[in-house]
Amino acid sequence: MAEVKVPELAESISEGSIAQWLKQPGDHVEKGEYVLELETDKVNVEIISDYTGTLSEHLAEEGDTVQVGQAIAIVDENGSAAAAPKAEAPKVEEAKAEPAKAKQAAPAKEAPKAEAKEASSTQQVIASPAARKLAREKGIDLTQVPVADPLGRVRVQDVEAASNAPAAPTAPAAAPKQAPAAKQAAAPVEVNDDRIEVVKMTRRRQTIAKRLVQVQSEAAMLTTFNEVDLSAVMELRNRHKDSFVKTNDVKLGFMSFFTKAVIGALKKYPLLNAEIQGDHILKKNFYDIGVAVSTDEGLVVPVVRDADRKSFAEIEKNISDLAVKARNNKLGLSDLSGGTFTITNGGTFGSLLSTPILNAPQVGILGMHTIKTRPIAVGDQIENRPMMYLALSYDHRIVDGKEAVGFLVAIKDMLEDPEQLLLQG
């Protein structure tokens, strides 16, 4: 017997949920053949079997959360698809023997009823298949297992903890109290108002929610602001937009200017391109810039690799291609992993000002916003200029306020004098 395990997916992905089983118990599988679709917070991934044989058992069901490295199916390398029908033979024999057993079992009808009640109470407990299997092997009543999951789901680690707990034998007395706990977890979705629609969050949305809260609790996050006059950038775009499209078959947008400016600022303030691991700082001497893209299923951040080595046209093409892939749910893990800094543009939705949340483990994220024409003092004159507010959220554990402010000022200076961007390589 061989185990199908959740493979290493990406640097920031440690778990996922089973969206769909593509192979069922009894099906023949070839090495390299897809057996299930796994939904992560970023992309859906099809998991392959590393073995040839018969899929004999699912160790997790659709909707279950599974960890990287966890066994999720069993493949019998000595079995074949033809072996599956043989499993029905005992059912025929049982059917023949059933009339004879029925006569003998008539006086003992109450015992099966009692067992049925116990089974039904166990089935009411929310638990993963792996947890149920371990509980059966260890003879543990799932209704007596304390759970740490806020949704009341019993996991493998809960069963293991219950089996090792010294007070486990005295747990039956608490049985009446444990059962209501499971009901309380489900209470919020029991709505008696027809005007309220209850919708279960997708796996991606659940993970996004968890990680946004996690980064706010772990990082010393702070946001600083500035504003930039985009007159020079807009004038440059207007002069070259037609020839740029003809030459490169892509429009000259704002993102290439901001990406170039971010890279120039990161070179001056390298700690914003770093990462914290324990009590160490990892300074990254490459520039993989993440660009936040909104999709129907949530926000994703595909990465422009080695953006410092790309031209304006290459950056625009790269961002455009990644955005199309994101909205068509075609992004691969390689498109999403390993970013060093992120740019998010709430201005596309009309946002005037915001405080973006860090994309862990990164320590910096730049927020762009909508462009508004406002009266600005230029020397002794008041002129209407296209202005944008910029926001930089950063991890104060390694980035000081002086560096954060200097970073934004550097971006502002380069965008107000875009010829400087040509000097950034």
Q: Where in the sequence numbering do the catalytic residues fall?
A: 396, 400
In whole angstroms, what is the distance from residue 37 CA to residue 20 CA?
5
Whether the Cβ atoms of residue 15 and residue 309 lie closer than 8 Å to each other: no
Q: How many CB atoms lie within 10 A of CB 223?
A: 16
How many Å from the N-terminal Cα to the C-terminal Cα in the chain? 56
Mutual angle of helices 255-268 and 312-327, in 10-degree steps: 110
Q: Specify burial of residue 163 (Cβ count, 10 A radius: 0-12, 13-18, 19+).
A: middle
Q: How many CB atoms lie within 10 A of CB 236?
A: 16
CA 111 to chain centroid, in Å, comes to 47
Q: How many CB atoms lie within 10 A of CB 316?
A: 22
CA 151 to chain centroid, in Å, comes to 19
Q: How many CB atoms lie within 10 A of CB 21?
A: 18
Long-range contacts of 181-190, Cβ-Cβ distance < 8 Å, separation of 24 or more: 181/147, 181/152, 182/124, 182/125, 182/126, 182/152, 184/152, 185/126, 185/150, 185/151, 185/152, 186/152
Query: Which residue from 257, 264, 195 is spatially nearest to 232, judged by alpha carbons?
Result: 257
Q: Which CA distances in Å does 314 have to 248, 307, 319?
A: 9, 9, 9
For 135, the enclosing helix (H) or strand (E) is: helix 129-138
In whole angstroms, what is the distance from residue 110 CA to residue 277 CA?
61
- What string of DSSP letters covers 339-407? -SEEEEEGGGGT-S---PPP-TTBSEEEEE---EEEEEEETTEEEEEEEEEEEEEEETTT--HHHHHHH
In whole angstroms, what is the distance from residue 156 CA to residue 133 CA?
9
Q: Can you read off the two tokens belonging to residue 164?
A: 């090792």
